[in-house]
Structure 1
């Protein structure tokens, strides 16, 4: 029995065939079979959402997969991943800072503190109207 026949994917494929057919494959054929079935194996994903939508007489399928990336990334993919990570992180930090500033302004206004006498951004009056 060759090393390829010991491979779990190949063994699983061969076990579904009659014994007389299993023994007819050459190592070269088994190698190509492994490539062909390997391309279809997705593995386990944290999020695996699949379904079918029927519109009129046609049916469309959708697949949404998400999970940890276990592939080796090229230099270009690594650069793009770092850029995307930087954009997401900077967006989150910006939103948090803006929320803190808004909360600080609302607390200041609720306490009746005027930093600039006679001037208001109108946020406090909008906030009071929103909850009245």
Structure 2
């Protein structure tokens, strides 16, 4: 909920934006009535409130993402739907771009994960075991002695 100071600043900003020829016509009672409306308004924060300036050279660009429980009336929702339609050309391009980036990220993550979970090959490559120099020790470990070396026929390059 906003503090009275915050509401007062908002009210003062509103009055400052009204043309002097109009604001000079307000009576003290009218200004007090408007101020009471501002003070009675309950300002609450959204559950999700992300506001960032996007540093694009040459452009002043910002992004706002708000989410929370819906408290607007059905009548207000209908009027805002007409005032702020979702499927504008800019919104459509943004949604398509966002979905393309999301798809590319998902594909990349899935590819890396599936590649790391599958073995490179199921073939085995025989390899000599350099630390076994004796035929009896080699045969004791269920390997094959050949040409003066101990060979392991089940060696995998994924090891």
Interval of TM-score (by shorter of Structure 1 and Structure 2):
0.3 to 0.5
TM-score scaled to structure 2, two decimals? 0.29
Which protein is richer in helix relative to its size?
A: 1
